Amino acid sequence: MIAEHEITARVPFAGSDIPSDAVINSCVHCGLCLPACPTYRETGLEQFSPRGRIYLMKAVADGRIGMESAVFQEQMSACLNCRACEAVCPSGVLYGQILEASRTQIEQAKADGRLPPHPWPARLLRFGAFGVLFRRPGLFRLFSRLMWLYQKSGLQALARRSGALRALKLDETEALLPPICDRFTIPEGQVLPAEGAERFTVALLTGCIMSTAFADVHEATIRVLRKNGCTVILPPDQGCCGALHAHGGDLNGARDLARQNIAAFEGLGVDAIIVNAAGCGSTLKEYGHLLHDDPQWKDRADRFSAKVKDVTEFLATLDLNTVDMRPLNLTVTYQEPCHLAHAQRISAQPRQLLRAIPGVTLREMQESSLCCGSAGIYNITQPDMATRLGERKLNHAEATGAEVIVTANPGCHLQLESGLRRRGSKMQVRHIVEVLDEAYKR
């Protein structure tokens, strides 16, 4: 196992998943992306900007520095992969692709001994999360049940009061743990008929975190879809979407999960594959790229991705059933998940749906589409920047005077709820389908 001081030569990109030269070279260094970048906005430093990070990737690609460079590794981790830069770039630089490839290069070099490995707690965390929990839905559900027991038994309250979590430096991570839904999971394999005349048949991605901690959001999604004439299928044998793997430098892990999901959904003959988590939806829509080098799966992946729709994107194309809604008398503000606004470019549709609900007032917050700092496991790996961005977001949300922050992604949901708890705020966080569902409850 190589140590830091033993690296004598530059460590180049190598093997598979090398960041594309064509994409790196499509950056013309105009700097128009800088104001959109949350880490640049917070630091004002070029190396914390998209342009600075692309420059570092190019330096490794050209052999001017190697992957052992501390600043290269630091910046590949410090980026949120929020893709706000990609959405505003006039040259169409596919930043997410080269970032994920760069992270995969670092992880491959750490695994095969060309770079020093992660410290053992990080190795354990990566193995437990990427290699075990998010690969095996059964184990993930078992883990969720244990977390539920931890919360309901009073152990959580005791651990928080005793200071043990702080002593183990686990207090900030533990604070992100969502209240696990009492019902644990949405049973897969069911077909739930449309209410009234059937207009569409759709399949729902149940996923990992959404099917356990946010099982109630899935239930609300199913009720809202059925109210709008959709028969909803919950295909068995599906798994995690692979977003955490792709964002965390394990593209092969993401590919395995993509193949599992494509096999689980193809052949159903549905009109759409519905996703209610922005990060999952953007990954599912990119399965075609993920498997572009695999001749057996590429076309199947493209066909699968073409059917994927975020639930807000899908509902906004329907003649939304407002007849069955009751007025809510609710003031909300909308926090845009990055992977909805920037990666999928879905921004107007959630607002359109909120405005369609009688009695809902939408008050826009400043910087609604600036990342809240959640970004997958970023709030665990980069807690300082994550907290700064979370506080910035909550300041803007509270300034609206709204009662509820509406969002559409579990990571944002957890990050915002944890920040509100820290502040002792009475504001609530809700998924957009929960608000729609409430309006349908007479």
Site for ligand SF4 contains 283 (CB under 6 A):
no
Q: What is the largest CA-CA distance in the chain?
A: 70
Interior/surface letters 370-384, b for 16+ CB within 10 angstroms, e for the rest: bbbbbbbbbbebbee
CB of 145 to ligand SF4, least distance (A): 35
Residue pointed to by tokens 């959709």: 230
Where does this chain touch ligand SF4 (CB under 6 A) — which range of 4-12, 37-45, 63-71, 119-127? 37-45
Q: State which residue, 99 or 353, has the beta carbon closest to ligand SF4.
A: 99
Q: Using the rule CB under 6 A, which residue among 73, 81, 344, 407 binds ligand SF4?
A: 81
Q: State which residue, 79 or 224, has the beta carbon closest to ligand SF4.
A: 79
Q: Using the rule CB under 6 A, which residue among 15, 25, 30, 441 binds ligand SF4?
A: 30
What secondary structure does DSSP assign to 365-413, as a single string? PTTTTS--S-TTTHHHHSHHHHHHHHHHHHHHHHHTT-SEEEES-HHHH
Q: Who contacts 395 (Cβ-Cβ below 8 Å, separation ≥6)?
A: none
Site for ligand SF4 contains 393 (CB under 6 A):
no
Q: Using the rule CB under 6 A, which residue among 11, 23, 60, 82 binds ligand SF4?
A: 82
CB of 76 to ligand SF4, least distance (A): 10
Site for ligand SF4 contains 27 (CB under 6 A):
yes
Site for ligand SF4 contains 247 (CB under 6 A):
no
CB of 237 to ligand SF4, least distance (A): 33
Q: Using the rule CB under 6 A, which residue among 13, 24, 38, 259 binds ligand SF4?
A: 38
CB of 45 to ligand SF4, least distance (A): 12
Compute the CA torsion angle 211, 266, 246, 168 (nearest 10 deg).
20
Q: Who contacts 331 (Cβ-Cβ below 8 Å, separation ≥6)?
A: 360, 361, 363, 400, 401, 402, 403, 404
CA distance 359 to 362: 10
Q: State which residue, 46 or 293, has the beta carbon closest to ligand SF4.
A: 46
Distances (CA, A) of 241 to 130, 167, 261, 335, 441: 12, 34, 7, 23, 31
Enumerate long-range contacts of 364-367, CB under 8 Å, 24 or more apart.
Answer: 364/333, 364/334, 364/400, 365/333, 365/334, 365/335, 365/396, 365/397, 365/399, 365/400, 365/402, 366/396, 366/399, 367/392, 367/393, 367/396
Where does this chain touch ligand SF4 (CB under 6 A) — which range of 30-38, 220-228, 318-326, 356-364? 30-38
CB of 48 to ligand SF4, least distance (A): 8
Interior/surface letters 171-187, b for 16+ CB within 10 angstroms, e for the rest: ebbbbbebebbeeebbe
Contact 296, 267 (CB under 8 A): no
Q: Which of 358, 366, 337 is nearest to 349 (CA)?
A: 337
Site for ligand SF4 contains 157 (CB under 6 A):
no
Among positions 47-76, residues that touch ligand SF4 (CB under 6 A) are 50-51, 53-54
Q: What is the DSSP letter of 8?
A: -
Contact 117, 222 (CB under 8 A): no
Q: State which residue, 238 or 344, has the beta carbon closest to ligand SF4.
A: 344
Site for ligand SF4 contains 33 (CB under 6 A):
yes
Where does this chain touch ligand SF4 (CB under 6 A) — which range of 88-96, 242-250, 285-293, 316-324? 88-96
Site for ligand SF4 contains 84 (CB under 6 A):
yes
**Under rule CB under 6 A, how many of the chain's residues touch ligand SF4?**
26
The phi and psi torsions of 214 (rounded to 5 degrees) equal -120, 35
Site for ligand SF4 contains 345 (CB under 6 A):
no
Q: Using the rule CB under 6 A, which residue among 83, 103, 300, 392 binds ligand SF4?
A: 83
Q: Using the rule CB under 6 A, which residue among 11, 37, 61, 372 binds ligand SF4?
A: 37
Q: State which residue, 51 or 285, has the beta carbon closest to ligand SF4.
A: 51
Residue 200 is inside which H or E element, if any? Answer: strand 200-204
Q: Using the rule CB under 6 A, which residue among 11, 67, 80, 346 binds ligand SF4?
A: 80
CA distance 68 to 114: 9
Q: Using the rule CB under 6 A, which residue among 85, 208, 262, 315 binds ligand SF4?
A: 85
Q: Which of 352, 347, 358, 345 is nearest to 318 (CA)?
A: 352
Where does this chain touch ligand SF4 (CB under 6 A) — which range of 78-86, 130-138, 220-228, 323-331? 78-86
Q: What region, left, alpha or beta, does residue 345 occupy, with left being phi > 0 and alpha being psi -120 to 50 degrees?
A: left
* Window 90-129: contact mask with ligand SF4 (x via CB under 6 A): -x-x-x----------------------------------
Q: Given CA atoms 352, 358, 363, 365 in this order, what sign does their dihedral have?
A: negative
Q: State which residue, 17 or 434, has the beta carbon closest to ligand SF4.
A: 17
Site for ligand SF4 contains 89 (CB under 6 A):
yes
Residues that bind ligand SF4 (CB under 6 A): 27-33, 36-39, 50-51, 53-54, 79-85, 89, 91, 93, 95
